[in-house]
Structure 1
Amino acid sequence: MEELVQFIAEALVEEPQAVRVYRKETRRTTILKLRVAPDDTGRVIGRNGRVANAMRTLLDVSTRHSDRDVILEID
């Protein structure tokens, strides 16, 4: 999951070396925190959050058969 978020984010931003994905596990939830350079935050979120929502949809589809929920947070 982290690799998918990292790959997508690096393709979108101007500073791919600044992309970081952190993972936190709870009992039933995985929280992925995406950090990018301040100037790239808008590119990752997209107009009206469309890019961020698309990434969340891909994560949801990729974990559909597991019993874990995935939350994507963007900093």
Structure 2
Amino acid sequence: MCPHQPHCPTSDGPDRDAARTVATHPEQGWSLLCNGVVVFEDTGELLPDGEVVAPHRPTDLGLDAVA
């Protein structure tokens, strides 16, 4: 369980990326969050249960740029 106050978001929550970073390896392109999620510099994720989350960027949402 997360020792931080307030507790970090769980790995299955929509805000899981807001958890604190506990280890970072920028030379390898990844960081480990307190909730067990591994985030990659391309915005992909590896969840603690082994599920892979494909890279997701704001441009992937299909929204048109606002002028």
Q: Determine which structure has more spread, i.e. the larger CA radius of gyration.
A: 2
Q: Report the TM-score, using the length of structure 2 for normalisation.
A: 0.28
More helix by share: 1
TM-score of the pair, normalised by structure 1: 0.26
